[in-house]
Amino acid sequence: MGRSALITGGSGFIATRLAPALLEAGWQVRACGRRPRPDSLPDEADYRNADLASGEGVDELFDGTTHVFHLAGASSSNSTDEEMHRSNAVGTENLLIAGADAGFERFLYMSTTAIYGEEVQLPVPVLESVEPHPSRGYGKTKWEAEQVVARFGEKGVPVVALRPVSTYGPANVKLLGSAILDVAIERYGGYETLMVPNAPVEQRLVHVDDLVAATIHLMEHEDAVGRVFNVTSGQYPTSHEIGRILAAEFGMEMELCDEGTDDDCGPSYEERGEIRDRMVGEGMKDDIFFTEQRFRFMRKQNRNNRLSIDALLDTGFEFRETDLEASIADTIAWYRSHRWVL
């Protein structure tokens, strides 16, 4: 029998790139999710409705499955702490309980570097072996889920976990995608200068195609079972560098706000919202997450920002999306062609 993948979170951002990549590589693909079948899922992929948190529909997912890509989960963008606990921790346990006897060859869990937290200073660069200190509900519930996965691993289930950083690329609806929307709003509103907070904030990013490639690579690598891997590009651009890239893509000049005026940097939430409404009225889709705080993604300081990726690189993995300016430009071109921005 050939390789047959089950992808949870089948309507999510990463799944929209993972499913086609697996199909192209000759895998059979089944995806699942709580929502109706997404248009982004290729016709060749099977799709089933399942609610991991309640367990509804989970038992029917594993027929013929050889590999499980567990991407499903809830984030703080649109979920309460209790909802994140149910989706991330309870849902992961329900999935593993239902599939533990299915005899699949490997179970991959998509975790997050948010489990390391921001409040406790960890040794930098942060190794996968460090004791996590998650600061927020999202990181805490993803760490709970990782511990669930580890317990099943101790019982003999062949598990591997990935901890990616902020992921960007075509079809991304938040984080850098939200920052791109912010710039598009201001350009549409007639602004010619992009004001960026004066204090530079170091960012960490990975392109979705590199994350997908790493996911497939580690799913197949013989030495990955039982291990955890950080996934980041290894580049750490500042908010100023990203601001310059975004400004140039929208034909704007970037300037830094004066000292002490970061809270008043750029148009207000109300003005941004009015411009966005006009854009939607002109045919822009409202898929990208619109944040109340302007450039929220680029304001997050993190003392544990730098991560070790030696474990990943030692498996022979190589990043392909190494030109940040070009990959952001390609992402914006995708948004424009799909009318996610005008």
- Stated pTM of the model: 0.96
* Residue 24 confidence (pLDDT): 96
pLDDT at 315: 98
Mean per-residue pLDDT for 51-59? 93
Asked if residues 165 and 125 have their Cβ atoms less than 8 Å apart, the reply is no
319 vs 258, which has greater pLDDT?
319
Least confident among 94-103, 174-183, 268-277, 279-288: 94-103
C-alpha–C-alpha distance, residues 143 and 145, integer Å: 5
Predicted confidence (pLDDT) per residue in 90-146, tens digit: 999 999 999 878 888 999 999 999 999 999 999 999 999 999 999 999 999 999 999
The Cα 232–Cα 128 span in angstroms is 13
Residue 75: predicted pLDDT = 84
Whole-angstrom distance, CA of residue 30 vs CA of residue 61:
8
Q: Is the pLDDT of residue 262 over 70?
A: no
Ordered structural domains, the chain, with CATH: 4-164 (3.40.50.720), 168-203+237-301+322-337 (no CATH)
In this prediction, residues 40-55 reach a mean pLDDT of 94
Average pLDDT of the segment spanning 5-27: 96
Please write the tens of the pLDDT for every residue from 199-219.
999 999 999 999 999 999 999
Residue 1 pLDDT class (50, 70, 90 cuts): low
Mean pLDDT over the full length of the chain: 94
Residues with Cβ within 8 Å of 201's Cβ and at least 6 positions away in sequence, in order, are: 238, 239, 298, 299, 300, 301
E strand or H helix that includes residue 33: strand 28-33
So what's the pLDDT on residue 106?
Answer: 96
With cut-offs at 50, 70 and 90, classify the pLDDT of residue 156: very high
* Cα dist from 173 to 166, 176, 286, 287, whole Å: 12, 8, 9, 6
- Judged by average pLDDT, the poorest of 77-91, 133-147, 258-272 is 258-272
H or E stretch covering 193: strand 193-196
Query: Percent of the chain beyond pLDDT 90?
Result: 89
**pLDDT score recorded for residue 2:** 81
Cα atoms in the 13 Å half-sphere on the side-chain side of 315: 23
The predicted pLDDT at position 150 comes to 97
